[in-house]
Structure 1
Amino acid sequence: MSLDLECLDAVATVAAIRDGSVSAAEYAEALADRAAKHSDLNAVQSFDEEHVVRTATKAFETHPGAALAGLPVVAKDNINTTNYPTSGGTKALLDHTPATDAGVVQRINQAGGFIGAKAAMHELAFGITSNNAVTGAVRNPNNPAMIPGGSSGGTAAAIAAGIFPAGLGTDTGGSCRIPAALCGVIGFRPTTGRYDGGGVVPISHTRDTVGPLARSVRDIALFDSVLSGDNADIASVELTNVTLGVPRQMFFDNLDPAVAEAVEAQLSLLSSAGAKLVDVNFEPIWPHNEAFSFPVVFYEVMRDLPAYLAKHAPDVSFETLVAGIESPDVAGAIGSQLGDEAMPEAAYRAALDVHRPAMRQIYGQVFEANGLDAIVFPTTPLPARPIGQDETVTLNGDQVPTFPTYIRNTDLGSNVGTPGISLPCPVSSGLPVGIEFDALPGKDRSLLALARAVEKAMAQ
C-alpha cells in the first residue's frame, strides 16, 4: 500500500521515514512537487528543492532517532534562518540572510528537523489578512479568493494545502490562531516566554511568541516538546472530568451565523460527551485589556524593531525599513508612531505595572471560582473574507474594521500571556471555522491534553 504523503501529519511522516516506508529524500521530492502544484497560493516565500532534498537526507542520517528526524518544516519569514533570507515580508529586508538561526530553528535542527521553506506573511506581522503589498497576497486553500488570515497566513496556507505537515508562525495578538481558524488547521500560542524568542523580527517582546501550526494535536504536542524542552507526557483526559468556561459576553457577541452555528454545535457535542460547561464573565477585564493591548505594541515596536536591525541586519537602518513599507495598513500603523502622536511612556508603564497585573488577577479568579480547566469560544467572529478588504469587512450587514474584529477574541489571551489553541470545527460546507481553548499561564501540556480529547470527540 502506497502512502498518501500529502495527508500524513508530522508524527506519521517521521515514523514513515524512520521505518523505511519512504526515504527522507523521496518525501522531500514529493513535498517539492506539492509546493509547485500550489504555487498559486503564494504561501511559500523562499524554497529551494535541491537544498530541501539534500538537507532531508543529511538531517535524517545525522539524527535518525530524534523527534523530527528528516522532517522539513515551514517557518514564517520573520524567523531567522541562515539557509533562506528572513524578510519579515518587507522590502528593506528581502535580501537579508541572518548570520545565525533563531533559537527555535536551532531547536528544530537539534531534533533532526530542518527549515524546508520560509512562509509568506503580512508585512512586518502587522495585520491579519496576509495581503502584502511587497510580496503579494497569500491565498486561502479553501477558496483562493479569500484571505488565509494572518499574520502567519503563509504557514497556515502551506499546511492546509498539504505542502508541509507542520510549521512555525508567530503570535502577538492572534497571528497563529487566526490563520489556523480561517484555513482549517490547528494553531497554538504557548504561554508567553515558553519558547526562545531570540532571532525573530519583533513587534513586542512583552507579547510576541513563536507558535506551531499543524493538522493534528499530537503534532502540536511534538513541536511544543521540541521548542520548550518540556517532555512531560500528554495525559489522557476524560471529558467527563473537564470543566469549560463559556464567556458569552464579548466573545460570542455579533457572530457570523456560520461561526455561531459551528461553535454551538461543538459546545453541544462537548456537553453530550460529559464536559461541564459553565457560563463565565470577564466584564471587569476589558478596560484593562484596552489600556494594555495597543500601548504595549506601539511603544515596544519602535524600540524592538531598531534593536533587531542593529543586531541582525546592521546594514539596514530603521529609517530605510520604514521608507520601504508598502502595505498601506502597516505604513499607517508604524507611521502613527513617528511624530507627536507616538505612544507615551506613561501609558506603557501603566500597561505593564497596573493593567497587566489586574488582567491576570481577574482572569485567574474566574478560573479559580469556577474550577475551570479552560475557557472555550470562537477563535474569530467571522470566517475568511475576500482578499483586499484590509480596512473593513462585512459582518451581519455592517461594515466593521477588519483588524480589531478579527483579533477581538484572541487578543485577551495574548495580553494575559496564556496558552491558547484553535481547533477546526467540523463543517459540512462553507469556509473553515475555529474554536479556541485557553488555559491558565503555564498549563500548556494540560491544555494540549484537553485539546487531544476534544479533537477525538469532534472526529467521532
Structure 2
Amino acid sequence: MNDTTAISRHIASREITNLSSLGLAAAAAAVRDGDITSEAYTTALLQRARTLAELNAFTTIDEDAVMAAARDADKARAAGSAALLLGVPLGVKDSYLTKGLPTSLGLGALAHFVPREDADAVRAIKDAGALVFGKNNLVEMSYGLTGHNERYGQVKNPHARDHVSGGSSSGSAASVAAGIVPASLGGDTVGSIRVPASFCGVVGFKPTTGRWPRNGVAPISHTLDTTGAFARSVDDCILVDQVVTGEVAAEHSDGGYDLKGVRLAIAPRQFLDLVDSEVEGRFRDVVRQLQNAGAEVIEVDLGDDFNALIQTATWGIFAHETMGAISEFIRRHDIPTTFEAIYEGLKPQLQQAWGQIVLPGGAGAISADAYQTALNVSRPEIQRRLNTAFVSHGAQVILQPTTPCTAPLIKEQATVHIAGQEVSYLALANHTVSASSVGMPGISIPVGLSRAGLPIGLELDAPLGSDRALLEVARRIEGVVGTPLATI
C-alpha cells in the first residue's frame, strides 16, 4: 500500500467515524439542512456495521434496500420535504413486524418470515421520514436479560467484547452504543430496554405502558409490555417520543442545567440492598452532584417486603400471560408458526424455563387465583407504596442504579456475582422491575464508567403518564452529570 492510499483510507475512516458519532437530532438536522445527504450518511453507517459485525447487533441488514431508501429520501428533500427524521436510518428490534424485511422474533425457524405489514411504531418513524437500517438481534422471544441468542449469536458489549450487552433488546443497545445507528426501537417488559442501556452506556426510555403503540410487536405480557427507544442523549429520546406519539415536545432552554425546584426521591433500603460497591459509590456520588446543582433529595422507605412484593407479582404476571399473548399475536398477524412449535424450537435453557413457568401445570407456574391476586391486590399495593414518594413527599422522580452491577462476563451470564453473592441473572432486573410492575415510565441514562471501563446507569422512574416531565428532568440531570458516553 502506498502513502497516498493509506492517507485516503485514513481520511475515509475518520469521515465514517465523524458521521457515525452524530446523534439522532443532529443527523436529522444535517440531512434536512443539506449539510450531508442521506446516501452519504447511510453509506458511512453501513461501513461501520460491516466493521463491527462481530458485535452481532443485527439479524438482518438489507443494504440494497436501505441505500435505495436513502436515495429516495434525498429526492424527497430536494422536492421540499422537511420531515422530522428524513433520511435518517434507525435500528428496529427484531420483535417488530417490518413490511418487506424479515422478522425472526429471534427464532431460527422464522429467519425468512417477511411480514406484509409494519408494526405501528415502525410505521410512525417511516412516516416521519426515517429509514429502517436493519433488524436488531435479541434474545429469543425477548425472554432474557443478557443478550444470548442461539441462532444469531451472543450480542457483545461494545465497551468490552467479552461482556454481555444486556437484553432482551440487546442488539438495539449495542448498535446505538457502537455508532452503527443513532437510535433504535426496543421493547421492555421487566427491563429489556433499561438493562442493556445501562450495560452499553446509552439512554434507554420505557414510556408509560400503553402510551406507545404495541400493535405488531411480539408480546410477552399484555399487562407489562412496553415499546420504547434507545438513543445517545435524552434529547434524542424526546424526538423519537414526539414522532411515535405525535405529541409536540415542550420548549426548553439550552442555557444551564441547574436543578432548582426539582425534588428527587431515593430508597436506599430497597434499591441499594444488593448492589456492587462500585455501582453504589457512583450512585451516591451522582446524588451529591444533583444536590449541589440545586435538587432536593429525600429518602423514602417503601417497606421491608417491597422487593419481594414486586418480584413475586411481576414475574408471576409476566410468565402467566406469555402463552396467551404469543398465541393471539400469531393468530392476529398470520405468523407462520404455532406456540407449540416455538416452544419446541427454543434453546434448551429457555425451553426448560418455559416448561417450568409458562406452560400450564409447570412446577413454577402460578395459579389463576394467584394471578388475579397479583393483578388486583399486589399491583395496587405496589402503587400505593410508590405514591408515598410521589404524592406524600412530592417527588417528581425516584432514583436508583439501573442495574445492581456492570455488565457481567459472557462466560458467567447464567449466574452472576453481585456484591460478593452468586445470584441468578434475573437479578439484573431487580431495579427495573419496579416501574414495570405498575406501568410507570422509566429511563436509564449513563453516568460514567467503572474502573474496568464498563458503563454505569442511573434509573429515573416517574408517576404514570408523566413521561414528558420525566424526560425533561432526565435531560436536566444528564446536563449536570455530563455528556453521554462517546461513541465506541
TM-score (norm 1): 0.96
Residue 322 of structure 1 corresponds to 343
Residue 327 of structure 2 corresponds to 306
Q: Deviations over 1:65-84 (max 9, x none)?
A: 11111111101110110132
Q: Deviations over 1:243-278 (max 9, x none)?
A: 100110121113212212221221111111111111
Residue 340 of structure 1 corresponds to 361
Q: Partners of 2:297 and 2:176 in 1: how far apart? A: 32
The 3-state SS of whatever aligns with 1:435 is strand
Tell me, yes or no, if the aligned pair for 1:234 and 1:445 is still in contact at 8 Å. Answer: no
Q: Partners of 2:387 and 2:112 in 1: how far apart? A: 45
Residue 63 of structure 2 corresponds to 49
Q: Which of 3, 7, 13 is the matching residue for 2:27?
A: 13
**Letter of the aligned partner of 2:59 in structure 1?**
Q
Question: Are residue 349 (structure 1) and residue 372 (structure 2) matched?
Answer: yes
Deviation at 1:356, TM superposition (A): 1.5
Deviation at 1:314, TM superposition (A): 4.2
Q: Partners of 1:254 and 1:273 in 2: how far apart? A: 28
**Letter of the aligned partner of 1:436 in structure 2?**
E
**Letter of the aligned partner of 1:208 in structure 2?**
D
Residue 453 of structure 1 corresponds to 476
Q: Partners of 1:179 and 1:355 in 2: how far apart? A: 27
The 3-state SS of whatever aligns with 2:160 is coil
Q: Partners of 2:447 and 2:437 in 1: how far apart? A: 25
Residue 108 of structure 1 corresponds to 125
Question: Are residue 22 (structure 1) and residue 36 (structure 2) matched?
Answer: yes
Q: Partners of 1:27 and 1:82 in 2: how far apart? A: 23
Tell me, yes or no, if the aligned pair for 2:270 and 2:301 is still in contact at 8 Å. Answer: no
Tell me, yes or no, if the aligned pair for 1:174 and 1:414 is still in contact at 8 Å. Answer: yes
Tell me, yes or no, if the aligned pair for 1:121 and 1:130 is still in contact at 8 Å. Answer: yes
Q: Partners of 1:314 and 1:372 in 2: how far apart? A: 44
Q: Which of 66, 73, 89 is the matching residue for 2:106?
A: 89
Question: Are residue 187 (structure 1) and residue 208 (structure 2) matched?
Answer: no
Deviates more, 1:436-445 or 1:305-314: 305-314
Question: Are residue 362 (structure 1) and residue 379 (structure 2) matched?
Answer: no
Residue 130 of structure 1 corresponds to 147
Q: Deviations over 1:298-319 (max 9, x none)?
A: 1111101011111224431211
* Runs of at least 4 residues off by over 3 Å: 59-63, 234-238, 284-288
Residue 441 of structure 2 corresponds to 419
The 3-state SS of whatever aligns with 1:278 is strand
The 3-state SS of whatever aligns with 2:221 is coil
The 3-state SS of whatever aligns with 2:326 is helix
Deviation at 1:419, TM superposition (A): 0.8
Q: Partners of 1:234 and 1:426 in 2: how far apart? A: 28
Tell me, yes or no, if the aligned pair for 1:29 and 1:49 is still in contact at 8 Å. Answer: no
**Letter of the aligned partner of 1:92 in structure 2?**
A
| Paired-residue identity, % | 37
Q: Partners of 2:329 and 2:112 in 1: how far apart? A: 16
Q: Partners of 1:333 and 1:25 in 2: how far apart? A: 45
Q: Partners of 1:105 and 1:386 in 2: how far apart? A: 33
The 3-state SS of whatever aligns with 1:146 is strand
Tell me, yes or no, if the aligned pair for 1:246 and 1:279 is still in contact at 8 Å. Answer: yes
Distance 1:343 1:59, change over 3 A: farther
The 3-state SS of whatever aligns with 2:298 is strand
Q: Partners of 2:378 and 2:241 in 1: how far apart? A: 29
Unpaired runs of 5+ in structure 1? Answer: none
Q: Which of 427, 431, 440 is the matching residue for 2:463?
A: 440
Q: Partners of 1:208 and 1:146 in 2: how far apart? A: 26
**Letter of the aligned partner of 1:123 in structure 2?**
E
Q: Partners of 2:283 and 2:408 in 1: how far apart? A: 18
The 3-state SS of whatever aligns with 2:445 is strand
Q: Partners of 2:440 and 2:307 in 1: how far apart? A: 16
Tell me, yes or no, if the aligned pair for 1:93 and 1:321 is still in contact at 8 Å. Answer: no
Tell me, yes or no, if the aligned pair for 1:245 and 1:279 is still in contact at 8 Å. Answer: yes
Deviation at 1:93, TM superposition (A): 1.8
**Letter of the aligned partner of 1:108 in structure 2?**
I
Residue 71 of structure 1 corresponds to 88
TM-score (norm 2): 0.90
CA RMSD for the aligned pairs?
1.7
Residue 380 of structure 1 corresponds to 403
Distance 1:130 1:2, change over 3 A: closer
Q: Which of 251, 276, 283 is the matching residue for 1:256?
A: 276
Q: Partners of 1:174 and 1:357 in 2: how far apart? A: 20
The 3-state SS of whatever aligns with 2:20 is coil
Tell me, yes or no, if the aligned pair for 1:92 and 1:320 is still in contact at 8 Å. Answer: no
Deviation at 1:230, TM superposition (A): 1.5
Residue 47 of structure 2 corresponds to 33
The 3-state SS of whatever aligns with 1:320 is helix
Unpaired runs of 5+ in structure 2? Answer: 1-13, 484-488
Q: Partners of 2:270 and 2:458 in 1: how far apart? A: 15
Tell me, yes or no, if the aligned pair for 1:123 and 1:130 is still in contact at 8 Å. Answer: no
Q: Deviations over 1:125-174 (max 9, x none)?
A: 11101111121100000000000001111000001111001111100001
Q: Partners of 2:258 and 2:290 in 1: how far apart? A: 11
Deviation at 1:390, TM superposition (A): 3.5
Deviation at 1:281, TM superposition (A): 1.3
Tell me, yes or no, if the aligned pair for 1:235 and 1:446 is still in contact at 8 Å. Answer: no
Residue 8 of structure 2 corresponds to none
Tell me, yes or no, if the aligned pair for 2:100 and 2:116 is still in contact at 8 Å. Answer: no
The 3-state SS of whatever aligns with 1:321 is helix
Deviation at 1:198, TM superposition (A): 0.3
Deviates more, 1:312-321 or 1:109-118: 312-321
Tell me, yes or no, if the aligned pair for 1:96 and 1:313 is still in contact at 8 Å. Answer: no
Q: Deviations over 1:191-221 (max 9, x none)?
A: 0000110001110011011111000111000
Q: Partners of 1:354 and 1:428 in 2: how far apart? A: 40
Deviation at 1:339, TM superposition (A): 4.8
The 3-state SS of whatever aligns with 2:156 is coil
Tell me, yes or no, if the aligned pair for 2:174 and 2:200 is still in contact at 8 Å. Answer: yes
Distance 1:408 1:319, change over 3 A: same
Deviates more, 1:337-346 or 1:6-15: 337-346
Deviation at 1:231, TM superposition (A): 1.1
Residue 205 of structure 1 corresponds to 222
